[in-house]
Amino acid sequence: MSIWASASQDGRSLTINIEGRFDFSAHQDFRESYEKTDAEPDEYCVDMKQTSYLDSSALGMLLLLRDHAGGDSAKIKIVNCNADVRKILTISNFEQLFTIQ
Amino acid sequence: MSQYKVLVADDNASDRLILSTILRKQGHLVVQAANGQEAVDLFDAEKPHLVLLDALMPVMDGFEAARLIKRLAGEDLIPIIFLTSLKDAASLAKCLDAGGDDFLSKPYNRVILEAKINATQRMRQMHETLQKQRDQIAENNTYMLQEQRVAKAVFDNVAHSGCLDSPIIKHLLSPLAVFNGDVLLAAHKPSGGMHILLGDFTGHGLPAAIGAMPLAEIFYGMTVKGFGMTDILREINMKLKSILPVGVFCCAGMVDISFWKRTISVWLGGLPNCYLLRQNGERIELASNHLPVGVVDHRAFDDNCYQYNMEPGDRFYLWSDGIHEARNDLDEMYGEERLEALFDHTEDHDLLFDRINDDVNEHIKNSAPDDDITMLEVLMVDESEIREEQMVVKMGAVSGPTDWSMSYKLGPTTLRDFNPLPLLLHQLLEVPGLRPHSGTLYTLLAEMFSNALEHGVMRLSSDLKVDPMGFAKYYQMRQEGLDNLTAGFVEFCFEHTPTAEGGSLLMRVIDSGSGFDYGDDGVVKAGDGNFHGRGLRLVASLCKYARHRGAGNQFEALFEWQREI
């Protein structure tokens, strides 16, 4: 499992990549990925291309990111989910809170 | 100096003696003949390396003898040098015409004689080497073809098998080599429905064919055990990635059809655009949106699929790039436009497959095909039409454990550093009907386990998790709690029962905690909520029902699965 973030050139957007299992063991790394950045992004992108699994604590972490990014005004995209991950996001109704692509 | 056996034929005894003496002095063995007939007879008996023939001799002259000797020698090159006192060009030419390789004028010059012997022997040896190499190549080729025939028989059994002969499938495979790199597989799923895979390995021949073996084995092995399409693709990708050299991979498309739900799921990696053709003529084009299998490692593998409804009479077309790239004698590719035109202008969809086949063959009739042409059409039919065919498969797969129960209790030492989920999941997947749900089952087990462990055994409060600091604190406490765990347990109880539609799995997780007051009936409802309790609501939304029980230290969920036919 590893998590890394990269800001766009203008610093307006931050992409967080999550590799492997996204569960409670990731909470520290996930939080640091958006807190310990110099960028002040307007929008976030969580790239799940390499995420194999996601549990309910990961859902909690996504909600914390949403809070960090401004709550209801947060702009967060979750992209490249595999079928299993997508299913969990869907049944948790996360489509109402995030842009899932 | 090399020693050769030389046949000398001359009717003049003194000339013969002189020549023989020179040859012996030069270290050669000499066989003597007094006329052409004797020369021919001795040639047969003695097998000399070189023949020196006087042109004019009684009984049979040198020209006739040369012709007979050449015939006897067959494929072997035995040089013939004519001995002649004739000087005119026509006579000398006649010597060569009769099969002579050179001529030597009388009286003999021993230096020239030796040089000519060496020159013709070099020729003979070169010829001999060529013959040996040719024979070796021919033998190797025979051997290789024999090997390929046996291997192809195995390959065909493996790579083009399953239920390809089903009445709803039309397929075309044109082998470019003895082997081709194309694989076409189809299998009934134990839960009803069908899996189809079309693969095109890079390259041709043995290197391309060899990857087909594990691919087919995984495809059939996992399909019959009830695994879902994405699990199978992941497994195939992982296997091919680990065994194939970089640069060899498999462009593939896989289709999962449900006749019961009338749906199709399609995964496309590196194949040309495929078509879904509605009965009303509407054509939906599906583009490959994934890398071929065997390219990226399993973490980067993307298993997103296209999903479509299909009504009876709708058809799906899948092909390798062989059709699009089939070239005619003007080097023009068949291309997508021709294909689209056929689709647009064929009213009777029953004829379409054969039309495409004919049209492509017409296109390439004057040129050698340069890629394998593989194509498949599958027709959606009403479930009842395919039921009989599927029953045969299903009979085998329904067996397996259906009525059983088990419990598994983990004490504190085990809870500290052992993850029981893979083991439990493995046990549950012994039920063929549960295999397509492995992802869901894992989620259910994981959520129920962490709920029991964190809130029951360790009594952590979810209230902590409302802010980032609390979140971190929560998991820090979780780790500390685990490290120091000396008491408590989590117990899993499973009960599987067969039902008319499939089966049901009752899961109960009991923890050593003191529980809590869950109020009325303890039923957990799906739907949104706050930060905590999300795990159990997730369980609830994946199950028939989920509820707290007992003193609140038990959680129970019922998962049901249905046969597709």
- Predicted confidence (pLDDT) per residue in B307-332, tens digit: 999 999 999 999 988 888 888 888 88
Dist. CA B171–CA A58, nearest whole Å:
45
CB contact, 8 Å: A49 with chain B?
yes
Taking CA atoms, what residue in B is nearest to A89? B538
Residue B448 lies in a domain: yes
pLDDT at B395: 46
- Co-location of B405 and B484 in the same domain: yes
Domain endpoint, select from B376, B395, B414: B395
Contact A92 B538 (CB under 8 A): yes
Nearest to B534 among A52, A59, A81 (CB): A59
Phi, psi of A92 (to 5 degrees): -90, 5
DSSP result, A22-85: ESGGGHHHHHHHHHS-S---SEEEEE-TTEEEE-HHHHHHHHHHHHHTTGGG-EEEEE---HHH
In this complex, is the C-beta atom of A63 within 8 Å of any C-beta atom belonging to chain B? yes
**Could you tell me if B387 and B419 lie in one domain?**
no
CA atoms within 13 A on the CB side of B471: 26
Contact status of B302 with chain A (Cβ, < 8 Å): yes
Same domain? For B486 and B377 the reply is: no
User: Do B95 and B57 share a structural domain?
Assistant: yes
| Residue-level pLDDT at B78 | 93
Residue B346 shares a structural domain with residue B405: no
Residue matched to tokens 């009965």:
B279
Task: Answer whether A64 touches B (CB < 8 Å).
Answer: yes
- Identify the weakest region by mean pLDDT among A47-61, B129-143, B331-345, B383-397: B383-397
Please state, in angstroms and rounded to a whole number, the distance separating the CA atoms of residues B34 and B16.
Answer: 8
Residue range(s) defining the domain that contains residue B13: 5-130
Q: State what percent of residues in chain B have pLDDT above 70.
A: 93
B528–A92 CB contact, under 8 Å: yes
Nearest residue to B83 (alpha-carbon basis) of B61, B106, B64: B106
Which carries the bigger pLDDT value, residue B469 or residue B17?
A: B17
- The reply to whether residue A56 touches residue B538, judged by beta carbons under 8 angstroms, is yes
Neighbouring residues of B167: CB distance < 8 A, sequence distance ≥ 6: B389
Contact A57 B440 (CB under 8 A): no
Q: What is the DSSP letter of B162?
A: B
Tokens representing residue B147 in the block: 């090997």
- What is the number of structural domains in chain B? 3
- Residues of chain B in contact with residue A28, where contact means CB-CB under 8 angstroms, are 472, 475
Show residues of chain B in contact with A49, CB under 8 Å.
300, 302
Q: Are residues B326 and B178 in the same domain?
A: yes
pLDDT at B237 (0 to 100): 94
Q: Which of A56-60, B208-212, B365-369 has the highest mean pLDDT?
A: A56-60
Predicted pLDDT of residue B369: 62
| The pLDDT of residue B173 | 77
pLDDT, one tens digit per residue, over B57-94 is 889 989 999 999 999 999 999 999 998 887 888 888 88
pLDDT at site B329: 81
pLDDT tens profile B480-539:
999 999 999 999 999 999 988 889 999 999 999 998 888 778 888 876 554 457 888 889
Count of residues making up chain A: 101
Instruction: For residue A32, give the CATH number of its domain.
Output: 3.30.750.24
Query: How many angstroms separate the CA atoms of B449 and B258, rounded?
Result: 33
Of B304, B526, B538, the CB nearest to A88: B538
**Which residues lie closer than 8 Å to B107 by C-beta, 6 or more apart?**
none
The band of A2, judged by pLDDT with boundaries at 50, 70 and 90, is confident
Residue B392 has pLDDT above 60, yes or no: no
What is the pLDDT of chain B when averaged over all its residues? 87
What ipTM was assigned to the predicted interfaces of this complex?
Answer: 0.71
Per-residue pLDDT, averaged over A5-13, amounts to: 88
Q: Name the DSSP class of B364.
A: T
Is B461 at the interface with chain A, CB within 8 A? no
End-to-end CA distance of chain A: 22
Do B27 and B77 reside in the same domain of the chain? yes
Identify the CATH number of the domain in which residue B486 sits.
3.30.565.10
Contact flag B305-A83 (C-beta cutoff 8 Å): yes
Contact assignment for B472 to A27 by CB distance below 8 Å:
yes
User: Are B324 and B420 in a shared domain?
Assistant: no
Q: For residue range B191-246, what is the model confidence (pLDDT) as tens digits?
A: 778 999 999 888 767 777 788 888 998 998 888 877 889 889 999 999 999 988 87
Residue located via tokens 């409802």? B525
B27: in domain: yes
What's the rounded mean pLDDT across residues B397-403?
70
Q: Both B248 and B344 in a single domain?
A: yes
Test B534 with A92 for CB contact under 8 angstroms.
yes
Structural domain that includes position A60: 2-100
Do B414 and B468 share a domain, yes or no? yes
User: Hey, is the C-beta of A50 within 8 angstroms of any chain B C-beta?
Assistant: yes
Q: Indicate whether B384 and B405 sit together in one domain.
A: no
| Contact residues on chain B for A67, CB-CB shorter than 8 A | 467-468
B531 touches chain A (CB under 8 A): yes
Nearest CA distance, B538 vs chain A (angstrom): 7
Point out the residue among A20, A64, A83 whose CB comes nearest to the CB of B468: A64
Asked if A53 has any chain B CB less than 8 Å from its own CB, the reply is yes
**Whether B433 and B515 share a structural domain:** yes
Read off the CATH number of the domain in which B203 is found: 3.60.40.10
For residue A23, what is the nearest residue in chain B, using CA coordinates? B446
C-alpha–C-alpha distance, residues B510 and B517, integer Å:
15
Share of chain A above pLDDT 70, in %: 99
Nearest to A88 among B300, B443, B465 (CB): B443
Q: Is the pLDDT of residue B352 over 50?
A: yes
- Give A73-99 pLDDT, tens digit per residue: 899 999 999 888 888 888 777 888 899
Q: Are the beta carbons of B421 and B442 closer than 8 angstroms?
A: yes
Backbone Cα Rg of chain B = 41
The angle, 0 to 180 degrees and rounded to 10, between the axes of the packed helices A56-68 and A27-35 is 20
How far is A36 from B556, CA to CA, in rounded Å?
A: 41
Contact A49 B302 (CB under 8 A): yes
Closest A-chain CA to B542: A91
Q: Is B530 on the interface with A (CB under 8 A)?
A: no
Residue B441 contacts residue B435 (beta carbons within 8 Å) = no
Give me the residues of B, 5-34, that contact A with CB < 8 A. none
Give how many domains chain A has, as a whole number.
1
Q: Classify residue B153: in a domain, yes or no.
A: no
What's residue B206's pLDDT?
A: 73
pLDDT band at residue B396 under the 50/70/90 scheme:
very low
CA nearest neighbour of B271 among B336, B226, B204: B336
Q: Is the pLDDT of residue B390 over 70?
A: no
For position B70, what pLDDT does the model report?
92
Q: Which residues are within 8 A (CB) of B156 and not within 5 positions of it... i.e. 6 or more apart?
A: none
